């Protein structure tokens, strides 16, 4: 069951992106590219201990994140959705605090930002998203919020994903399953771990409409996500989107992609750079000129420096925070430990 015919009526009233919005999308993609590249360098410099790059996935992340209604929807990310966070206006110093290991889940406010804490458990965010979405159904709110859960082609093979899709379909939970198929589950190519080669095709088994979209086309991703959100918001249940893209860099800063693919294979699989592709489209359509492109790049570099300074200024969090933020009802032993910790800190 494909998404396009199912959502044809909803798409009729969808306004095309304005020139201002198209330029804003490019500005966001440029900012994400600069920050992503810088974060890898920061790890090499010892500023942060680890990072999961998203080079080549800017269009998939910015396009989908830009479509989210931050007044009512809620996004459930993995550890690689920095571009979604930036598109949604999440405080990036707070976001990057997780990669600095300053605090688990980030120091931003999930309720205000509508961006859940970063999830490092593979496919863990899927279960959280379906639970939140089902809560929207039970609440019977007039302005239904939609959960958007991100995961990759590798995570799609986890049993949790199949259970979540089945539950969401049966309960008509308003959730968008957004798969970024970047071609690799760490070192394993998609064709070796996704039967049939398409994650979106699995949705039919659960009676869920799905769409496979060009994940390197930011406008196509935005339009697909907007349509999926409208479908869910109308009480029609979940939607699966598979954005076909490519992970141009390593799985993480601890990974060496040269061990499982050659540079020639990487160049062939990556195709056209999504940022350069969108730039050429804006120039050809007269939506932007070279001066705008240069200014967007300048602002991206300036923003990256500001975020770097903010990360460098982050000090260690008080260890006693774990007693108030991690444990809802601390055990007597933990309460005693917390008291001893506080007393020791006061006399230090």
**Three-point CA angle 19, 22, 26, nearest 5°:** 140
Residue 331 is predicted with a pLDDT of 85
Q: Which value, in Å, is the radius of gyration of the alpha carbons in the chain?
A: 21
Cα 230 from chain centroid (whole Å): 19
Residue 9 is predicted with a pLDDT of 45
Question: Sign of the CA dihedral 190, 194, 198, 203?
Answer: negative
Kind and range of the H or E element at 188?
strand 188-189
Higher-pLDDT residue of 342 and 226 is: 226
> In which band, very low, low, confident or very high, does the pLDDT at 72 lie, cut at 50, 70 and 90?
very high
- What are the tens digits of pLDDT across the range 126-171? 999 999 999 999 988 667 899 999 999 999 999 999 999 999 999 9
Residue 328 is predicted with a pLDDT of 74
Over range 27-37, report the average pLDDT.
98
89's torsion region: left (phi>0), alpha (psi -120 to 50) or beta? left
Of 205, 195, 122, 193, nearest in space to 166 by CA: 205
- What are the tens digits of pLDDT across the range 99-109? 888 776 678 99
- What are the tens digits of pLDDT across the range 279-320? 999 999 999 999 999 999 999 999 999 999 999 898 777 766
Active site residues: 247, 251, 260
CA dist list (Å): 218 to 4, 23, 63, 159, 184: 18, 12, 5, 30, 21
The answer to whether 153 and 161 have CB atoms below 8 angstroms apart is: no
Residue 325: helix, strand or coil by DSSP? Answer: helix
Over range 47-69, report the average pLDDT.
96
DSSP label of 179: E
At 255, list the tokens.
């990974």
Residue 315 is predicted with a pLDDT of 78
148: how many CB neighbours lie within 10 A of its CB?
Answer: 31
- What are the tens digits of pLDDT across the range 167-217? 999 999 999 999 999 988 999 988 898 988 899 999 999 999 999 999 999
Residue 151: helix, strand or coil by DSSP? Answer: strand
Mean pLDDT (the chain) is 91
Over range 7-32, report the average pLDDT.
84
What span, in angstroms and rounded, lies between the C-alpha atoms of 146 and 134? 10
The answer to whether 51 and 43 have CB atoms below 8 angstroms apart is: yes
What span, in angstroms and rounded, lies between the C-alpha atoms of 309 and 311? 5
Higher-pLDDT residue of 334 and 232 is: 232
Residue 8 is predicted with a pLDDT of 44
Of 113, 109, 49, nearest in space to 86 by CA: 113
- How many Cα atoms within 13 Å fall on the side-chain side of residue 295? 7
- What are the tens digits of pLDDT across the range 110-130? 999 999 999 889 999 999 999
Residue 76: helix, strand or coil by DSSP? Answer: strand
The answer to whether 106 and 100 have CB atoms below 8 angstroms apart is: no
What secondary structure, in 3-state letters, does 279-347 show? HHHHHHCCCCCHHHHHHHHHHHHHHHHHHHHHHHCCCCCCCCHHHHHCCCCCCHHHHHHHHHHHHHHHC
| The pLDDT of residue 6 is above 90 | no
Residue 348 is predicted with a pLDDT of 65
At 71, list the tokens.
């007044």
What span, in angstroms and rounded, lies between the C-alpha atoms of 122 and 160? 9
Residue 4 is predicted with a pLDDT of 53
Kind and range of the H or E element at 241?
strand 239-244
Over range 324-341, report the average pLDDT.
80
First to last CA, the chain: 64
**Three-point CA angle 14, 19, 21, nearest 5°:** 65
């Amino acid at each position: 069951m494909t998404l396009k015919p199912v959502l044809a009526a909803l798409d009729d009233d969808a306004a095309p992106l304005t020139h201002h919005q198209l330029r804003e999308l490019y500005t966001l993609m440029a900012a994400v590219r600069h920050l992503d590249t810088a974060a890898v360098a920061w790890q090499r410099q010892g500023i942060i201990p680890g990072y999961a790059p998203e080079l080549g996935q800017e269009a998939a992340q910015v396009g989908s994140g830009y479509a989210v209604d931050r007044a009512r929807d809620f996004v459930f990310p993995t550890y690689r959705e920095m571009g979604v966070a930036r598109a949604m206006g999440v405080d990036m110093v707070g976001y990057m605090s997780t990669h600095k290991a300053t605090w688990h889940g980030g120091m931003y406010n999930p309720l205000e930002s509508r961006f859940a804490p970063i999830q490092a458990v593979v496919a863990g965010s899927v279960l959280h998203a379906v639970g939140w979405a089902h809560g929207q159904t039970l609440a019977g709110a007039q302005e239904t919020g939609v959960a958007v859960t991100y995961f990759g082609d590798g995570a799609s093979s986890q049993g949790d994903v199949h259970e979540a899709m089945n539950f969401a379909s049966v309960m008509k939970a308003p959730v968008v399953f957004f798969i970024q198929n970047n071609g690799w589950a760490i070192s394993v190519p998609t064709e070796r771990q996704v039967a049939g080669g398409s994650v979106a095709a699995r949705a039919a088994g659960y009676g869920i409409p799905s769409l496979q979209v060009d994940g390197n086309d930011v406008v196509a991703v935005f339009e697909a996500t907007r349509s999926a959100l409208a479908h869910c918001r109308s009480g029609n249940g979940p939607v699966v989107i598979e954005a076909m893209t490519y992970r141009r860099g390593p799985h993480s800063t601890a990974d060496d992609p040269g061990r499982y693919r050659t540079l020639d294979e990487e160049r062939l699989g990556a195709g056209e750079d999504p940022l350069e592709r969108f730039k050429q489209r804006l120039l050809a359509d007269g939506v932007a000129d070279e001066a705008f492109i240069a200014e967007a790049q300048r602002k991206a570099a300036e923003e990256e420096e500001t975020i770097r300074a903010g990360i460098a200024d982050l000090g260690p969090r008080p260890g006693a925070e774990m007693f108030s933020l991690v444990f809802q009802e601390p055990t007597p032993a933990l309460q005693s430990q917390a008291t001893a910790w506080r007393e020791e800190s006061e006399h230090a």
